[in-house]
């Protein structure tokens, strides 16, 4: 079976993980998270390309580049989750399966974080489990893709 190609997008300020508000986001760095994700992806016969981008336009470009190159997208759009119609439209436009993840439970935080522009175009959303949100999101996306690619019985 051919390896699934997954794009992992980390949005603004996620490069500060391990330093930024560890009581909310945990103590692991983004490099630690990416390494753990890549290990899990290998076990799942998948290949990950991980990118952290602080600019909305750069995130949109990365999503566009995924068209015809990736099988799915795992995204933590950070604060853009709650503000970016452009990212939502890019995800919708490439029509790839998307799983949205967040380290914190966005519904237990400030009310402005309760709305996601990404969720309506995602196959699912996982939040509130810290680093495990990423692992669970990856596993869910890979499982979805593997079942989607199986021939009908």
- pLDDT tens digits, 72-94: 999 999 999 999 999 999 999 99
Catalytic residues: 25, 102
Order of strands, edge to edge, in the sheet holding 98-102? 46-52, 4-10, 72-76, 98-102, 124-127
Question: Averaging pLDDT over each range in 52-56, 79-83, 127-131, 148-152, which range is the top one?
Answer: 52-56
CATH architecture for residues 4-149: 3-Layer(aba) Sandwich (3.40)
Tokens (6 digits) for 92: 């919708």
Q: pLDDT, tens digit, for every residue of 107-135? A: 777 777 778 999 999 999 999 998 999 99
Listed in sequence order, the residues at least 6 apart from 45 whose beta carbon sits closer than 8 Å to its beta carbon are: 1, 3, 4
DSSP symbol at 45:
T
């Amino acid at each position: 079976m051919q390896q699934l190609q997954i794009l992992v997008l980390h949005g603004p300020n996620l490069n500060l993980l391990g330093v930024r508000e560890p009581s909310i986001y945990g103590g692991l760095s983004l490099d630690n998270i990416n390494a753990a994700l890549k290990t899990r992806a290998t076990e799942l016969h998948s290949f990950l390309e991980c990118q952290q981008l602080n600019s909305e336009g750069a995130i949109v470009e990365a999503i566009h580049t995924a068209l015809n190159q990736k099988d799915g997208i795992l995204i933590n759009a950070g604060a853009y989750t709650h503000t970016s119609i452009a990212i939502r439209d890019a995800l919708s436009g490439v029509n790839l399966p998307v799983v949205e993840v967040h380290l914190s439970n966005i519904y237990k935080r400030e009310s402005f974080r309760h709305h996601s522009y990404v969720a309506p175009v995602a196959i699912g959303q996982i939040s509130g489990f810290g680093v495990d949100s990423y692992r669970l999101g990856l596993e869910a996306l890979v499982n979805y893709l593997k079942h989607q690619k199986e021939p009908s019985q």
